[in-house]
Amino acid sequence: MIEVTRVVDAPPSAVFAVLADGWMYSGWVVGSSHIRDVDAAWPAVGARLHHSVGVWPLQLEDTTVVLAVSSGESLRLEAQGWPFGTADVEVTLTADGGSGGGTLVRMRERALRGPGKLLPEALQALVLRPRNRESLARLAALAEGRARKTVES
């Protein structure tokens, strides 16, 4: 399991609000370029979002499904990203008392099926760690912007 963490300067509710909005998925997930549809039940278990991966015109259409959710605390997804395969991705949120209302975000990912599963974990980590750090940076920017907007309103 490849893991990255980041402290976000926003409360867990603001971070989870971004995760709970399936239409924002391509705004923070590196590699996802376009959201085609989101089930109305998102982020309930079994709900799907339909996204494109890659850059136009070389985009592949895939889906991501919710495996588990604990509102305000965690979201576990099965993300398809062919031709690389399918991954189990878990994002957990913990209030970070030391940062004045911030959130410790932990993202863990492991290959489930496809060519990515054949790669040794050390090689997967060379690709996934930088990608997932950037994903958390994007998630942080969206959540922090949402938290500032809420405070200003």
**How much is the pLDDT for 117?**
85
Q: What is the pLDDT of residues 12-36, one digit of tens each?
A: 999 999 999 999 999 999 988 899 9
**How much is the pLDDT for 69?**
98
Mean pLDDT of the chain: 91
- pLDDT class of 152 with cuts at 50, 70, 90: low
Helix (H, G, I), strand (E, B) or coil at 127: helix
Specify the CATH number for the domain of residue 113: 3.30.530.20
Helix (H, G, I), strand (E, B) or coil at 152: helix
For the sheet with 48-53, list strands across it: 2-8, 102-113, 86-96, 74-80, 60-70, 48-53, 32-38
Q: What is the pLDDT of residues 63-75, one digit of tens each?
A: 999 999 999 999 9
pTM of the full predicted structure?
Answer: 0.91
Number of structural domains (the chain) is 1
Enclosing domain of residue 146: 2-152
